[in-house]
Amino acid sequence: MNVLSKLLRAPTIVLVMLVWSAGVLALPVALAPDRAADGQIDLTPYIALVEDPEGRLSVDDVRSRFEAGTVAPAAPSGVNLGLTRSAWWIGFSIPPQGSPKEAAQYLLELGFPTLDRVDYYAPGSQTPVRTGDLVPFAQRPVAHRNFVFVLEASGSEPALVLLRLESAGSLSVPLTLWTPAAFAQHSQVSYAGLAAYFGALLALLAYNLLLWTSIRERVYLDYVLFVTGLGVGLAGFNGLGNALVWSGWPWFANLAYPLGFALAAYGIAQFTRSFLSPKPVSARLDLALRASSAISVVTAIVLVGFSYPLGAKMMTVATVLATSLAVWTAVYCLVRKVHAARLYLLAWSLFLLFGIAFALRNHGLVPANFLTLHGLEFGSLLGMLLLSYALADRIQTERRDKEAAQAQALAARQANIEQLQRSERELEDRVVARTTELASANARLLQSERQQRELAQHDMLTGLANRALFSDRLQQALVIAQRERSRFALLYLDLDKFKPVNDTHGHAVGDLLLKEVAQRITHRVRESDTVARIGGDEFVFILRAIDTDQSVLHIAEAIRNTLNQPFLMDALTLQISCSIGAAIYPDDGNDELTLSRVADGAMYQAKNSGRDRVCLAQACENVKIG
């Protein structure tokens, strides 16, 4: 019996629940209060909705549904329908006003200026007042950035006010009822706040644009693109752009919000790449930012040329992707000790914090106050100020790095000058002996130029002429000898037993020995003769204006004998010898190549004949000339 009773009671319970649900749906819409202490009434608790998927319902159809109570109440957090293809009817009832003399005038504000089409039906009217961002701004019933309608109610019965809404973008319906005085004061404050915000935005934009025109660094242009896109998007979102800038371009008013944020997303990705330079630390992050930029460009193309609803969805994806990548890149670079990442991460953190607060306020999860109502503006302004400061800090950092690099360059230059001065001091005695014009400033300048030339033409170790200067002197000797019909000798000298010195005592001792050899050779030739070092232990001489072969032999033997004398190197006594080969112009040749080859061959003949000797070309055997 108990089981049967339960089975009989179950359908009854279901029936009661269905009747109760129908009763709830049929409840009349609550009347909006007739007065508010502060001159405004948030209509969210008092509005109801009717969805019109086909867009075919007439105003009479909708009024019938409101009278029958077959409408859906608004959510406590507000009417936010997202992206929808349906037309939506929004209605609310105002209480009776008594006699016409007592009737109050209100202003109805719809605070979402990106809606494409808004039809306002006054109580009992069959003819709508049409507006929207696709309608020229001049045709609005009240010249305001939001959609505002004059609501005059009278009579002894509650009056139903209807709005029909359609939009290709997001559909949100924040409705507020204002007294004229309160609305005027509210508009004045909101316009002043927005003017201050966009004034700061324009100042940042102009400042960084001027920096870009002056410095021509890509990072400033990317920042300008980001600020421009954000400014256009926000001006489209809050209706200020439509009211003050592009009021005569309804086509652009419809596109400004998503198109501006698509440009901002592109600027965010590019600015992150140029500011943080993530490629050296992560090529994948750089590639992801490039892809984000490409998505933003495609989004703009879709918005302008193809599909607004699709473009609006893509804009959301592009903005979230670019912002997320910017934060992740900043975190990654901060971990990798990139200096610029700190301020960059702080700027985007503030941006996201206020943006989240704004979104939570839209869903009723945080209280509505001045900060949460204007979270996007506060977050973006603080973020952009920090980013601008980060750019300024970047300039300072680059300036300090440049100064440090200049200081290092000056230090390196000073070190080079000191090295040159040390080399100059090694040659100072000979330079002073040959130069008598160092007394004046002009002479010092000429001497400096000469010293630079000397360094380029002399052997750094011994101070003798190097191969380049020797070749030049040999050419001069040929020209003079041909003009004066004189003779000169070319001698090649190679040290004997020098390699064992290096192997036994080291290259430092070998270098000291070469310097001493150079000095002994120099003391045995005339001032007009040329002595050069052309290899490790190989020297050449040009003996000008010789009289006979014997005079050449005399000088060569004197050099050989002086090099046979022991060399005292600190605690070491070194003994070496040399082999010398000589060629005489014009007897052994009349050009540089021939004379050099003959003298070199004579020197090798001296070595092959037992070393420590002098060999004239014509007196040597097996020497091929020509």
Pairwise CA distance, residues 612 & 560, whole Å: 7
- Sign of the C-alpha dihedral, residues 583, 585, 589, 592? positive
Q: How far from 458 is each of 254, 429, 599, CA to CA, in Å?
A: 79, 15, 22
| Residues sharing a CB contact under 8 Å with residue 472, sequence separation 6 or more, in sequence order | 457
Hey, what amino acid is at 380? Answer: S
- What angle do the packed helices 375-426 and 218-237 form, to 10 degrees? 170
Give one DSSP letter per residue of 411-434, joined into a string.
HHHHHHHHHHHHHHHHTHHHHHHH
What are the structure tokens assigned to 73, written together? 């109440």
Longest Cα separation, the chain: 154
**CA–CA dist 290, 296 (Å, integer):** 10
Q: Does residue 420 contact residue 455 with C-beta atoms inside 8 Å?
A: yes
Task: Report the candidate in 194, 319, 215 with the shortest Cα–Cα distance to residue 266.
Answer: 319
Q: Please give the Cα distance from 78 to 42 (Å, whole number).
A: 10
User: What sign does the CA torsion over 172, 177, 179, 180 have?
Assistant: positive
Find the catalytic residue in 537, 547, 587, 612. 537
224 CA to centre of own chain: 12
DSSP 405: H
The DSSP line for 128-178 is -EEE-TTS-GGGSSS-SSSEEEEEE--BSS-EEEEEEEE-SSEEEE-EEEE
Contacts of 169 (CB under 8 A, 6+ apart): 83, 114, 115, 116, 257, 258, 308, 309, 312
The residues, any chain, with a CB within 8 Å of residue 337's CB and separated by 6 or more, are none
Tell me, rounded to whole angstroms, the distance of Cα 42 from its chain centroid. 47
* Amino acid letter, 189: V
Q: What are phi and psi of 113, to 5 degrees?
A: -80, 5
User: Residue 380 contacts by C-beta under 8 Å, 6 or more apart in sequence?
Assistant: 230, 234, 351, 354
Q: Chain-centre distance of CA 322, in angstroms?
A: 16
What is the number of other CB atoms lying within 10 angstroms of the CB of residue 117? 17
Question: Are residues 211 and 394 in contact, defined by beta-carbon separation less than 8 angstroms?
Answer: no
Helix (H, G, I), strand (E, B) or coil at 94: strand
Name the residue with tokens 């069959």.
Answer: 126
| Residue 537 annotated in active site | yes
Dist CA 120 CA 570 (whole Å): 111
Alpha carbons 149 and 147: distance in angstroms, whole number = 7
Which residue do the tokens 């559909």 mark? 171
Residue corresponding to tokens 């750089």: 286
| Alpha-carbon span 281 to 168, nearest angstrom | 42
Q: Give the tokens for residue 369.
A: 């106050």
What residues act catalytically?
537
